Every structure is written in structure tokens, then in C-alpha cells.
Amino acid sequence: MTCLCCGAAVTPLDAALTKKFVNRGSQTYYCIGCLAKKFAVSRALLIEKAREFQRAGCALFAGLQL
């Protein structure tokens, strides 16, 4: 699985972030770098958000190493 935008390998975290921020039902994904660019935020902020969603019990982020 590769990023729709840049072709980089997509990690489970990238897939979860794409589902959370772009389209819950998405079968194609963006890497975290392209998501950060798309939303004009830092990668660190996206990871921080992922940790927040995980703490809140969001199933998309369950079991990910963050």
C-alpha cells in the first residue's frame, strides 16, 4: 500500500489518520507527511492527535505504537 500523493509506503498509523481526517471509509491512503502538508500542520501534531484519539478509545487507533 502506497501514499496516493507521493507513493511512499503507508503505515497503519497513516491509514488510521487518513480514515479519521479524510474519509472514514477510504481504501486508499496518504502518508503522514502528505497529510501534514494537506492540512498545513506538523507531523508532530498529527501524532499527538493520534495519541489523543487512542486514549479516547477510537477503534481506528487501537493497538498502534505511537
Which residues are at the interface with Zn ion (CB under 5 A)?
Answer: 3, 5-6, 8, 31, 34
Closest distance to Zn ion from the beta carbon of 52 (Å): 23
When the beta carbons of 5 and 60 are compared against Zn ion, the nearer one is: 5
- For residue 28, give the DSSP letter: S
When the beta carbons of 30 and 61 are compared against Zn ion, the nearer one is: 30
53-59: Cβ within 8 A, 24+ apart: 53/20, 58/20
Cβ(13)–Cβ(19) under 8 Å?
Answer: no
Closest distance to Zn ion from the beta carbon of 35 (Å): 8
